Amino acid sequence: MTLAQHRFIAIEGPIGAGKTTLARRLAGRLGGEPLLEDPDANPFLARFYQDRARYALPTQLFFLFQRFEQLRAVAQHDLFARVRVADFLLDKDPLFASLNLSGDELALYERLYAALAPRAPRPDLVIYLHAGPRTLAERVRGRAVEYERALEEDYLARLAEAYARFFHHYDEAPVMAVNSEHLDFAASERDFELLLARVGAMRGRRAYFNVGD
């Protein structure tokens, strides 16, 4: 498939990887509709960053239902609908649950996820952005979101490692893995065009893009 033929593209990566910026740019280029997480709508998120053990479950469940509701429109689209570009992948949702939940709370989450996940559409393509923990931490601290600055670099390192393990085994959709360590899709037209060229030249179900390749 060429890039323009994809009907549903998901951009994924740990916090600070640049997925929302890329989702907006890609949707704009393709004349599509961005499907973006709305963290400001989650009433538990700021408290989660201050006390993860206490607020992990309601934060996780709120995002699970928010993501599922956004994907319902994709599941119902016809052949003439605009491409959708999401800055999340529902299949990855349990990754955060496994990091932040345990015991009965994890079991409750898993039951709800198992009921919802089979009804969600699969993307035609996943673009997985990754970067080192130090880079992620610098990007997070440079954003204007005060409560995110409470994230420790150790937590970001565990998150980045969990993403790497997840996408090493993920085979539900084609994946373009992108090292975003030295890429800036917000400010650099060259970086964005390089990525588009790599995606357009992709053959098979898995490809990798590192600057200098």
User: Partners of 129 in the beta sheet?
Assistant: 178
Tokens 């345990």 belong to residue: 102
Q: Which residues contact 129 (CB under 8 A, 6 or more apart)?
A: 11, 12, 13, 17, 18, 19, 22, 178, 180
87 catalytic per annotation: yes
Query: Among candidates 140, 166, 167, which has minimal Cα distance to 153?
Result: 140
**Of residues 87, 91, 93, 191, which has the active-site annotation?**
87
User: Partners of 207 in the beta sheet?
Assistant: 176
27 φ, ψ to 5°? -60, -40
* Structure token digits, residue 124: 């035609």
2 φ, ψ to 5°? -80, 165
Question: Which DSSP state fits 102?
Answer: -
- Show which residues are catalytic: 87
